[in-house]
Amino acid sequence: MPNSFKLNLVQRPRRLRRTPEIRALVEDTVLLPQNLIAPLFVVEGKGRPEPIASMPGVFRLTIADLVRECRALRKLGVLAVALFPKLGARLKDEEGTAALREDALILRAVRAVKEAVPGMVVMTDIALDPYTTHGHDGVLTADGRDVDNDRTVGILAQMAVLHAAAGVDFVAPSDMMDGRVGAIRRALDAAGRESTSIMAYTAKYASAYYGPFRDAVGSAKAPGTPGLDKRTYQLNPSNRRESLLELRLDEAEGADVVMVKPAGIYLDVIRQLRQATRKPIAAYQVSGEYSQIHAAARLGWLDLAACRRESLVAIKRAGADMILTYFAREMAAELGR
């Protein structure tokens, strides 16, 4: 028997959800390939790309493969890459001295990418964790119990100038030392590198989601630093107000872009910074976020394509202008179809 019941409604929100075309017309958060930044890992040598077991589909790339990957990304509409080196053990020491070598792997990688793909925006990590035997982001105090803030900042400023001279567009200090953005800005300006931008890791939390990344750059297992406890310099995951203090400092010290890391489980922090600043905001969908989506998809518990898209839309919706994500290539290909 037909149901004759009828609601007397003026507002029917479902009218704007009726067809794919109508839904697209009223979509208020739009994800585009140019919103994505691809983090890429680079290694020495001429061999094949090295798969990273804890990050399905992600590889350590030689410089030649890195250039090929950048060309492919650029064709898909991805405009920026963030480069991270993976060094052999013989190049590491307590002081991270390889970070200041003029023939450093990362500098050669930057030059190769900028020569081969001039339109690609290149960002580099300014921190010592890939270069130190202990795996911390800076040099240690005399007693070895903590990272020496001021001595580390002096090294990072030198490192940033070297990267700028190699041609990077953004230096990205991820170390979370006090005062490092200002010191880097002064060092860049003094070296005539006023046009080099700073993307500050403004709210980088002491997260449990970084494990696969540490595998990728070889800082995961560091003798004498069980668990790589970085809580004396990275933010407490329980604290939200603290991110506003870091934002004010980074803005005052000359940051051009501010970042929240991790992204997906800190959407409230992204939103808070969006409401507090007019600076562009980056958010880093970190290795653990990427790998957990892959792991659940492999078990058949989640749809990989749907979840990667939804996770990135959520980050954009929270207020991020740009997103560092290991899904960049796949997502850009999907968006371009």
Instruction: Report the alpha-carbon distance of residue 56 to residue 47 in Å, rounded.
Output: 19
Q: Which of 86, 230, 261, 316 is catalytic?
A: 261
Burial 118-131 (b: 16+ CB within 10 A, else e): eebbbbbbbbbbbb
**Cα(84)–Cα(128) distance, integer angstroms:** 11
CA distance 217 to 100: 17
Query: Which whole-number Å values give the CA distances from 45 to 42, 52, 97, 214, in the listed order?
Result: 10, 16, 21, 20
Distance of CA 1 to the CA centre of its chain: 59
What are the structure tokens assigned to 221, written together? 């297992």
Return phi, psi of residue 131, to 5°.
Answer: -110, -15
Q: How crowded is the C-beta side of 7, counted as CA atoms within 13 Å?
A: 4
Are the beta carbons of 318 and 273 closer than 8 angstroms? no
Q: Is 316 an annotated catalytic residue?
A: no
Neighbouring-strand partners of residue 40: 83
The CA distance from 193 to 170, in Å, is 11
Distance CA 270, CA 317 (A): 10
**Which H or E element spans position 214?**
helix 211-217
Q: In 3D, which of 158, 228, 210 has the Cα closest to residue 188?
A: 158
Beta carbons within 8 Å of 2's beta carbon, 6+ residues apart: none
> Rounded to 10 degrees, what is the CA torsion of 181, 185, 186, 190?
150
Which one from 86, 114, 204, 230 is the annotated catalytic residue?
204
Sign, Cα dihedral of 267, 270, 275, 276: positive
Catalytically active residues, by annotation: 204, 261
